[in-house]
Amino acid sequence: MSLDARKPDTPGDDAPLRRDPARTRTRLLDAAIAEFSEQGIHGARTDRIARRAGTNIRMLYHYFGSKDDLYLAALEVVLAELRHDELRIDPEQGDPLEGLLHVFDYVDGHFGSHPALRKLLAFENLNEARHLGRSEKMLAMSSPVIVLIRRLLQRGAAAGSVRAGVDALHLYVSMVSLAYYGRAHAYTLSHIFGKDLHKPAWQRAHLKQTREMVASFLRP
């Protein structure tokens, strides 16, 4: 289930949560994602996170050790969910160009439906990825999507349906840029250009254009 779609229960659930460690930990992570995406690591407060999760501060430190470790765990969760969506393609099946476009569809759809991910990435970029740099999971978590894209590119080039010489990481960063920028900066761009970029119709039109940009670049 999408983290942005989950709603924290009331604090009155504290007693049942203590009897279910896995549920308590999940609730704390959900609450942390909400708090950190709204406030950033410096503005977030662990007592608010504990209240949002319906538990107490002692349980937060029991499961996560520190505010910094909880923040890193929250980042790993939202990025793991993005990877889950991206890896829904079998690189050995179907038309490679369509497979690459489906990867873009999943990236775009995920960024569109997970505002917390966009905000957390923005805060972590401001912090120069100091917390992600401590993650022992991130490289192993991120490598498979590059391997998938590289395999689709290889198959497409061999079949003549995809241009040769495309670098998988450059392509992925371009996909993320097209999916991310128009949403992450929609507030400022809307004011600058006098057009509401948040409207679903604008976002659909933008996706149609960016998808065709990716397709045009990839065709031989």
pLDDT tens digits, residue range 16-38? 444 688 999 999 999 999 999 99
Q: For residues 61 and 37, is the Cβ–Cβ distance under 8 A?
A: no
pLDDT of 88: 87
Which residues fall within 8 angstroms of residue 29, CB to CB, at 6 or more apart? Answer: 70, 73, 74, 77
CA-to-CA separations, 202 to 182, 197, 198, in angstroms, rounded: 10, 6, 7
Give the residue-averaged pLDDT of 76-97: 91
How much is the pLDDT for 21? 87
- C-alpha 124, offset from chain centre: 12
- Residue 139's pLDDT is what? 87
Tens digits of per-residue pLDDT, 35-50?
999 999 999 999 999 9
Sorted by sequence, the CB contacts under 8 Å of residue 133 that are 6+ apart come out as none
Residue 127: partners with Cβ closer than 8 Å, 6 or more residues away? 41
The CATH superfamily label for domain 72-218 reads Tetracycline Repressor, domain 2 (1.10.357.10)
pLDDT at 7 over 60: no
Q: What is the DSSP string of 167-184?
A: -HHHHHHHHHHHHHHHHH
Per-residue pLDDT band for 12 (boundaries 50, 70, 90) equals very low
Span 131-147, mean pLDDT?
Answer: 91
Indicate if the pLDDT at residue 2 is higher than 60: no
**CATH 1.10.10.60 location in the chain:** 3-65
What integer best gives the mean pLDDT of the chain?
90
What pLDDT is attached to residue 19?
67
Residues 192-196 have a mean pLDDT of 96
Give the mean pLDDT of 69-98: 93
Q: Is the pLDDT of residue 14 over 60?
A: no
Say which CATH topology domain 3-65 has.
Arc Repressor Mutant, subunit A (1.10.10)
pLDDT at 117: 94
pLDDT 10s digits, 99-122 = 999 999 999 999 999 999 999 999
Inform me whether the pLDDT recorded for 59 exceeds 90: yes
Which DSSP letter does residue 101 get? H
Mean pLDDT of 193-206: 95
**Are the C-beta atoms of 118 and 85 separated by less than 8 Å?**
no
Residue 33 contacts residue 116 (beta carbons within 8 Å)? yes
Residue 55: both structure tokens together: 């538990």
% the chain with pLDDT above 70: 91
The residue length of the chain stands at: 220
CA distance 56 to 30: 15
